[in-house]
């Protein structure tokens, strides 16, 4: 827990990790609260028809223990990988808690994945069971012959051939069930990296990962929990952001979490969820914030009671920060982390730790620096790689079956992130770009984030991505791919106006010499732009 303090410096100075010898995520997020306040609401599900539902910690505890017992009866053992292919739902949270309780390793997967992406992850992980719905089952059925380790398929919304009913397992008699006596370092979950720069890797985390998230989580949510706090995120709980920036830490701290049906992101529906469910705290990734700006003057149409908003997953940028903070009436706290080591940098407006355009300062308990290729800490103002010093409770145990990649992730005791950044004299770190995304043009090293942030400020632009396109004279030129807001049409005149917008706000060497309008950008399931695809497209153009 983060002690309440008036200043950042005091928090940094006084914070000490207190990791117990034994810790189990499943019991911590369900049984601990059930023993004290069984009727306390832990989950609320938003339904578009208004028939919202609630789940108490008491029911959460009983059903997750029953589900764990049911999995054991199906042959699942401690250390086995159990996949979860579900949208935000009570069943998803119950499955997570159950897997942790039995000592298994949860493997969250996004329903948006195609069959090839699912097959790769399930085969690589050697998953023995999967919890899904009928939509997910159709995909699994198509590849099940290629998954020799997969023995058990549990359906959350009915019955099907060669499947087991979720409801049946959640009602398994478990009067004598005892959760695994896990240590903080025992494996608990495996989350595959986004695959923005190569094949996805399974980042294996111990049970301590949840404890490691708490100080950063409380930091950007202004010492959550406070009376009336209630959390929601549009981020898929299969992503580290949705799972560890919202769901699990909120449940641990006794804050109700709002779930919402899986759907294509709808800005008006997002505002409706925040209003109807009395959401006080939200984790909203930058892409979602940019999409939500299509709703003009939202506070005139929706009654918002938000207290805190955190945002991460990609660079937020000053333009989006200003637009979102004005729209919500709450200063957005940007933070930073990776699947391998999350919430290590953070902002906290209530403590004055806020600089629009930066990712914040090192969160309490974490040592973050800008280093060079030899692991030397670079001075203020120098561009280098963002790195996190080990040991750190939030840091991954390693990549699944990939010792070489794990070793390559470190330079000495510094875990490298592959993200370029720069630290200022106040300790704020600003994102410059992924190692592979930095653009070299006429001798300048250009980070795409600043260009994309500037593009986002143009009234016609909804989403934008900047990449380096090979050029015989300049090495690379800046090319921008732009998705327009509704009501705007692509034209040469608009492209020229957008170029001038950037040219007059940044510099002559940073403006996009080429602009291409697209209907959509290639995104990971976590909402990050896959610039690799755009670079390949630009190269193919010649």
Residues 461 and 406 in one domain: no
pLDDT of residue 342: 97
Mean pLDDT on 209-225: 98
Position 264 in a domain: yes
* 144 pLDDT more than 80: yes
Length of the chain: 542
Position 465 in a domain: yes
Residues 44 and 182 in one domain: yes
Domain boundary among 395, 423, 451: 423
pLDDT of residue 321: 95
What phi-psi label fits residue 346: left (phi over 0), alpha (psi between -120 and 50 degrees) or beta? beta
Question: What CATH code is carried by the domain that includes residue 446?
Answer: 3.30.300.30
pLDDT digits (tens, 9 = 90+) for 409-467: 999 999 999 899 999 999 999 987 777 777 877 666 677 887 888 899 999 999 999 99
* 245 pLDDT more than 70: yes
Residues 212 and 85 in one domain: yes
Residues 358 and 454 in one domain: no
Residues 302 and 393 in one domain: yes
- Joined tokens for residue 454: 């500037």
Domain boundary among 372, 392, 423: 423
Q: Is 224 helix (H, G, I), strand (E, B) or coil?
A: coil
pLDDT of residue 307: 98
- Which one has a higher pLDDT value, 225 or 476? 225
Domain boundary among 423, 454, 483: 423
* 369 pLDDT more than 80: yes
In sequence order, what are the beta bridge partners of 45? Answer: 53, 259
How sure is the predictor about 195, in pLDDT bands with cuts at 50, 70 and 90?
low
Residue 459 neighbours by CB distance under 10 Å:
10
pLDDT of residue 292: 92
What is the reported pTM? Answer: 0.87
Question: What CATH code is carried by the domain that includes residue 346?
Answer: 3.40.50.12780
Please state which of the ranges 217-221, 263-267, 302-306 shows the lowest mean pLDDT.
Answer: 263-267
> Among residues of the chain, what percentage have pLDDT more than 70?
98
Residues 214 and 274 in one domain: yes
Please state which of the ranges 50-54, 462-466, 489-493, 524-528 shows the lowest mean pLDDT.
Answer: 524-528
pLDDT of residue 439: 84
* 110 pLDDT more than 60: yes
Residues 407 and 449 in one domain: no
Residues 192 and 248 in one domain: yes
Position 62 in a domain: yes
Range of the domain at 513: 437-541
pLDDT digits (tens, 9 = 90+) for 247-301: 999 999 999 999 998 767 899 999 999 999 999 999 999 889 988 988 999 999 9
Mean pLDDT on 139-149: 95
pLDDT of residue 499: 93
CA–CA gap between residue 303 and residue 301 (Å, rounded): 7
CB neighbour list of residue 167: distance below 8 Å, 6 or more residues apart: none
Q: From start to end of 95-241, where are the E strands?
A: 105-108, 129-132, 152-155, 164-165, 187-192, 202-206, 231-232
Q: State the DSSP code for 3.
A: P
Residues 449 and 383 in one domain: no
pLDDT of residue 442: 66
Mean pLDDT on 144-161: 93
Position 381 in a domain: yes
pLDDT of residue 463: 93
Position 366 in a domain: yes
Position 69 in a domain: yes
pLDDT digits (tens, 9 = 90+) for 395-407: 999 999 999 999 9
* 124 pLDDT more than 70: yes
CA–CA gap between residue 484 and residue 467 (Å, rounded): 18
Residues 393 and 509 in one domain: no
Residues 441 and 293 in one domain: no
Q: State the DSSP code for 90.
A: H
Q: Looking at the 3D structure of the chain, how many domains does it have?
A: 2
How sure is the predictor about 199, in pLDDT bands with cuts at 50, 70 and 90?
confident
Position 395 in a domain: yes
In sequence order, what are the beta bridge partners of 348? Answer: 353
* 528 pLDDT more than 70: yes
What value does the mean pLDDT of the chain take? Answer: 93
Position 429 in a domain: no
Sequence-distant contacts of 156-160: CB under 8 A, at least 24 apart: 156/86, 156/89, 156/91, 156/131, 156/132, 157/133, 158/134, 160/134
Residues 502 and 398 in one domain: no
CA distances from 500 to 295, 494, 497, 510, 513 (A): 26, 10, 5, 11, 10
pLDDT digits (tens, 9 = 90+) for 43-102: 999 999 999 999 999 999 999 999 999 999 999 999 999 999 999 999 999 999 999 999
> Among residues of the chain, what percentage have pLDDT more than 90?
79
């Amino acid at each position: 827990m983060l002690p309440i303090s008036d200043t950042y410096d005091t928090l940094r100075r006084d914070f000490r990790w207190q990791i117990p010898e034994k810790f189990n995520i499943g019991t911590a997020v369900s049984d601990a609260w059930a023993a004290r306040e069984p009727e306390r609401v832990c989950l609320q599900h938003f339904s578009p028809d208004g028939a919202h539902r609630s789940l108490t910690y008491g029911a959460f505890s009983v059903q997750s223990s029953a589900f764990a017992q049911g999995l054991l009866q199906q042959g699942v053992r401690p250390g086995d990988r159990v996949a979860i292919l579900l949208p935000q739902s009570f069943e998803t949270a119950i499955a997570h808690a159950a897997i942790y309780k039995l000592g298994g390793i949860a493997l969250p997967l996004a329903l948006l994945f195609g069959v090839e992406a699912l097959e790769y992850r399930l085969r690589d992980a050697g998953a023995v069971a999967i919890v899904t719905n009928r939509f997910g089952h159709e995909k699994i059925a198509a590849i099940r012959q290629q998954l020799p380790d997969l023995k058990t398929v549990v359906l959350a919304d009915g019955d099907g051939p060669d499947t087991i009913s979720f409801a049946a397992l959640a009602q398994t008699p478990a009067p004598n069930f005892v959760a695994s006596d896990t240590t903080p370092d025992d494996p608990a979950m495996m989350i595959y990296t986004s695959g923005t720069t190569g094949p996805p890797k399974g980042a294996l985390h111990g049970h301590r990962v949840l404890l490691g998230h708490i100080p950063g989580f409380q930091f950007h949510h202004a010492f959550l929990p406070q009376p009336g706090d209630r959390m929601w995120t549009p981020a898929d709980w299969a992503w580290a952001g949705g799972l560890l920036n919202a769901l699990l830490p909120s449940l641990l701290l006794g804050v109700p979490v709002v779930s919402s049906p899986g759907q294509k992101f709808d800005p008006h529906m997002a505002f409706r969820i925040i209003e109807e469910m009395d959401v006080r705290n939200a984790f909203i990734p930058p892409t979602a914030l940019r999409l939500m700006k299509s709703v003009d003057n939202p506070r005139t149409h929706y009654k918002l009671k938000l207290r805190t908003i955190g945002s991460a997953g990609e660079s937020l940028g000053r333009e989006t920060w200003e637009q979102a903070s004005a729209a919500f009436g709450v200063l957005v706290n940007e933070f930073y982390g990776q699947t391998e080591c999350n919430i290590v940098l953070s902002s906290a407006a209530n403590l004055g730790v806020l600089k629009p355009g930066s990712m914040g300062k090192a969160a309490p308990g974490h040592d973050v620096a800008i280093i060079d290729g030899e692991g030397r800490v670079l001075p203020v103002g120098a561009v280098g790689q963002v790195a996190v010093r080990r040991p750190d409770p939030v840091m991954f145990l390693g990549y699944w079956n990939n010792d070489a990649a794990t070793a390559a992730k470190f330079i000495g005791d510094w875990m490298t992130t592959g993200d370029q950044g720069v630290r200022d004299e106040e300790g704020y770190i600003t994102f410059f770009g992924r190692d592979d995304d930095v653009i070299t043009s006429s001798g300048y090293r250009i980070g795409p984030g600043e260009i994309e942030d500037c593009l986002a400020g143009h009234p016609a632009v909804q989403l934008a991505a900047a990449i380096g396109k090979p050029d015989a004279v300049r090495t690379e030129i800046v090319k921008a791919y732009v998705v327009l807001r509704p009501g705007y049409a692509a034209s040469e005149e608009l492209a020229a106006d957008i170029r001038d917008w950037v040219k007059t706000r940044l510099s002559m060497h940073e403006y996009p010499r080429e602009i291409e309008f697209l209907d959509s950008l290639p995104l990971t399931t976590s909402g990050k732009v896959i610039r690799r695809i755009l670079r390949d497209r630009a190269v193919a153009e010649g």
